[in-house]
């Protein structure tokens, strides 16, 4: 662990979205003395898969150090690839998908047990509960088409990176229900998840507490 108390938080958004998802979290982290990198994954290009998404994140990091890689939702499939390719001090999943080495993104849904869950009520907003209406509108406006043409290919992740890892689940998540996520995290990461109040889009619903949790994870690392 570097002696420098300042981290660079590398924030990876979820599927079909943009780095804007983190725009309320980023200034809080900066106010706590950290740098922030929130890249737009190159989702629209059908030639790209999770490996190219990871490369885009790495390119955006440049020569920054003390990296804390943070992934939300579908971004969890990208984060461990990033951490396997560049020096990372901490890996944090925020209500995110956790892949197994060699597992294709398309296979996660059934292999994790998510496909066996009862379908949610179509009248219930699975993503945006707790998010102000104006932010929901803006997030939808900024949403992008993710082709997913290469999501049937095995991930290039050959082994789990040797990086301290935390998982933060959202108690009010209607898309990835807490009970399902607790089991998935224990099975795939072998750790107990931490918990926070809020729905799936926690970076928009509860950004300050999320940022403060991320900061605390950094300060709790052994020096």
List the domains of the chain with CATH numbers: 8-220 (3.40.50.1820)
Kindly report, residue by residue over 118-158, the tens digit of the pLDDT: 766 555 688 999 999 999 999 999 999 998 999 999 999 99
Q: How many CA atoms lie less than 13 Å away from 140 in the CB half-sphere?
A: 9
Which two structure tokens, joined as six digits, stand for 172? 């009010």
Segment 164-173 shows an average pLDDT of 97
Q: Is the pLDDT of residue 24 over 90?
A: yes
Beta bridge partners of 92: 70, 166
Phi, psi of 74 (to 5 degrees): -65, -25
In contact, 33 and 60? CB cutoff 8 Å = no
Kindly report, residue by residue over 173-221, the tens digit of the pLDDT: 999 999 999 999 999 999 999 999 999 999 999 999 999 999 999 999 9
């Amino acid at each position: 662990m570097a002696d420098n108390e300042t981290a660079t938080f590398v924030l990876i958004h979820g599927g079909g979205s943009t780095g804007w998802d983190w725009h309320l979290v980023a200034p809080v982290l900066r106010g706590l003395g950290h740098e922030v990198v929130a890249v737009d994954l190159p989702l629209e290009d059908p030639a790209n898969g999770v490996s190219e998404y990871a490369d885009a994140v790495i390119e955006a990091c440049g020569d920054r150090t003390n990296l804390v890689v943070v992934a939300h939702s579908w971004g969890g499939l990208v984060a461990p690839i990033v951490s396997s390719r560049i020096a990372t001090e901490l890996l944090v999943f925020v209500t995110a998908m956790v892949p197994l080495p060699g597992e294709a993104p398309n296979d996660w849904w059934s292999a994790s047990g998510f496909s066996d869950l009862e379908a949610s009520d179509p009248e219930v907003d699975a993503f945006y509960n707790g998010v102000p209406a104006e932010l929901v509108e803006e997030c939808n406006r900024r949403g992008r088409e993710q082709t997913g043409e290469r999501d049937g290919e095995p991930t290039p992740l050959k082994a789990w990176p040797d990086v301290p890892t935390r998982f933060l689940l959202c108690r009010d998540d209607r898309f990835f229900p807490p009970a399902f996520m607790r089991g998935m995290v224990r099975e795939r990461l072998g750790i107990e998840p931490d918990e926070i109040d809020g729905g799936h889009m926690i970076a928009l619903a509860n950004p300050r507490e999320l940022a403060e949790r991320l900061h605390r994870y950094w300060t709790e690392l052994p020096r």
